[in-house]
């Protein structure tokens, strides 16, 4: 089940030290199922497995609505018989269940068609060092404390303004666990992580109009989470500012995307340059590597090794080592987003993106926040919420419903609703004039406010 290069990889691959009995069990199970696959005649195999625990609570009007505890475990194995593959999954770690899972994957592989691009990642690309990215902060949280935090968050929002007439509740959740990826090249990669969040959603009314909005915070380390009161206050402010919304006038205007929605522009870029879109020839950015897509000031890059960040990982879902890299620099597209399979289909090498991108970041073009960006724009629209998904990945045509604010003379005049913003993503990318420094770092795609110089707005 291995050749000389595989043995060499096994000799130098990272050997994790389990922190507890559960992690030791993950390593033992990984070896067990890989040996079973080999005994069944598989030429190669890979397994992903993990365990986690967590809890969440939701309160509404000061009363507990739901309380949930969870303890999860899962295992997925893919086996290869030369270029035929089969996969199977289980949540049962009993010996009989593991045997059945491996046998099922092998039986599937024997009846699938050959695909010359199937297989594990190349051994020389696998991670040999696993740095500590500081992702693991389990929270020993009692349910009474969780309920109190969620309640304080909701009550803070309700106390801010008399126009807040109803609530959809406050929530708090905490999860942590460990995941292991192993393959028959000898690679073993163990990662531990945690995720904690607090959120609130309320409804405000004025006259016949009602508006809803929310806010949240999310982090690896609970000590860095915003206070429940500050999240509730932000929720209230965002909700009340929507009252009195009008319809937007149809026309062509500059548009500012607030940070929370600006990240969606990067997600559309990633979708267009991902391997599956490219080898299926279902992308408006086919054969665009080396092409200038943005202005000179635009840099978009991955930062997979940032400590405590939501998208950090030292290896991808195939064990390939991740590394910082510029996807766009000087406005030019330098590379695609590929797994081993899609890279082979395209005749190139994986970029370490099996499973997605890692802390994709668009750098600010200047040190400027949303308020100053509004002042410099003069007249136009600020988009705070996007509705629907009207994106054609083949043509790049873009049309989405939105909620936002009309800007006149560098100041917000009033909220606007029931309008769409439209364009073509190629034009929109080239039309990005300013990227702000007001980063939203709560998610794995990181962006500040983004000003697109011209878009079509269809409203009243």
The mean pLDDT of 200-224, rounded to a whole number, is 95
pLDDT band, very low/low/confident/very high, at 22 (cuts 50, 70, 90): confident
Question: Would you state the pLDDT for residue 6?
Answer: 45
Burial (CB count <10 Å: 0-12, 13-18, 19+), residue 367: exposed
CATH 3.30.2290.10 domain range(s) in the chain: 4-240
Provide CATH code, domain 4-240.
3.30.2290.10
Query: What is the reported pTM?
Result: 0.93
pLDDT band, very low/low/confident/very high, at 3 (cuts 50, 70, 90): very low
Question: Would you state the pLDDT for residue 16?
Answer: 53
Question: Would you state the pLDDT for residue 15?
Answer: 47
The mean pLDDT of 371-377, rounded to a whole number, is 95
Confidence check: pLDDT of 14 > 70: no
Question: Would you state the pLDDT for residue 208?
Answer: 83
The mean pLDDT of 422-429, rounded to a whole number, is 98
Confidence check: pLDDT of 287 > 50: yes
Confidence check: pLDDT of 11 > 50: no
Q: Do residues 134 and 307 touch, judged by C-beta distance below 8 A?
A: yes
pLDDT tens digits for range 306-331: 999 999 999 999 999 999 999 999 99
In the chain, % of residues over pLDDT 90: 92
pLDDT tens digits for range 434-444: 999 999 999 99
Confidence check: pLDDT of 5 > 50: no
pLDDT band, very low/low/confident/very high, at 8 (cuts 50, 70, 90): very low
Question: Would you state the pLDDT for residue 89?
Answer: 97
pLDDT tens digits for range 357-366: 999 999 999 9
Question: Would you state the pLDDT for residue 330?
Answer: 98
Question: Would you state the pLDDT for residue 17?
Answer: 63
Question: Average pLDDT over the chain, rounded to whole?
Answer: 94
């Amino acid at each position: 089940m291995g050749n000389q290069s595989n043995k060499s990889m096994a000799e130098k691959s990272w050997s994790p030290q389990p922190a507890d009995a559960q992690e030791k069990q993950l390593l033992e199970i990984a070896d067990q199922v890989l040996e079973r696959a080999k005994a069944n005649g598989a030429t190669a195999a890979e397994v992903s497995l993990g365990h986690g625990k967590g809890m969440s609570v939701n309160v509404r009007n000061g009363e507990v609505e739901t309380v949930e505890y969870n303890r999860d475990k899962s295992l997925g194995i893919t086996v290869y018989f030369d270029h035929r593959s089969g996969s199977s999954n289980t949540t049962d770690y009993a010996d009989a269940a593991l045997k059945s899972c491996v046998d099922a994957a092998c039986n599937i592989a024997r009846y699938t068609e050959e695909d010359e691009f199937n297989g594990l990642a190349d051994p020389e690309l696998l991670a040999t060092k696993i740095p500590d990215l500081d992702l693991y902060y389990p929270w020993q949280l009692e349910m009474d404390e969780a309920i109190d935090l969620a309640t304080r968050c909701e009550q803070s929002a309700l106390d801010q303004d008399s126009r807040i007439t109803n609530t959809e509740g406050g929530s708090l959740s905490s999860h942590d666990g460990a995941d292991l990826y192993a393959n028959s090249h000898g690679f073993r990669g163990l990662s531990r992580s945690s995720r904690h969040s607090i959120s609130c959603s309320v409804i405000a009314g004025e006259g016949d109009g009602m508006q809803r909005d929310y806010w949240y915070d999310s982090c690896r380390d609970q000590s860095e989470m915003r206070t429940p009161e500050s999240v509730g206050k932000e929720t209230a402010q965002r909700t009340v500012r929507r009252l009195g919304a009008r319809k937007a006038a149809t026309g062509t205007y500059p548009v500012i995307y607030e940070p929370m929605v600006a990240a969606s522009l990067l997600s559309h870029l990633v979708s267009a340059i991902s391997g599956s879109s490219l080898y299926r020839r279902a992308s408006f950015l086919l054969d665009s590597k080396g092409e200038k897509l943005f202005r000179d000031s635009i840099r978009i890059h991955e930062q997979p090794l940032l400590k405590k960040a939501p998208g950090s990982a030292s290896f991808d879902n195939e064990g390939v080592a991740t590394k910082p890299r510029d996807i766009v620099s000087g406005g030019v597209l330098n590379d695609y987003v590929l797994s081993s399979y899609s890279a082979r289909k395209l005749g190139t090498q994986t970029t370490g993106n099996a499973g997605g991108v890692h802390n994709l970041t668009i750098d600010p073009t200047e040190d400027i926040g949303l308020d100053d960006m509004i002042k410099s724009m003069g007249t136009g629209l600020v988009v705070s919420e996007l509705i629907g998904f009207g994106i054609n990945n083949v043509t790049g045509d873009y049309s989405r419903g939105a909620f936002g604010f009309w800007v006149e003379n560098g100041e917000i005049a009033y909220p606007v609703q029931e309008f769409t913003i439209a364009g073509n993503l190629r034009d929109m990318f080239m039309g990005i004039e300013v990227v702000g420094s007001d980063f939203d770092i709560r998610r794995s795609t990181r962006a500040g406010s983004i000003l697109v110089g011209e878009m079509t707005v269809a409203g009243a």
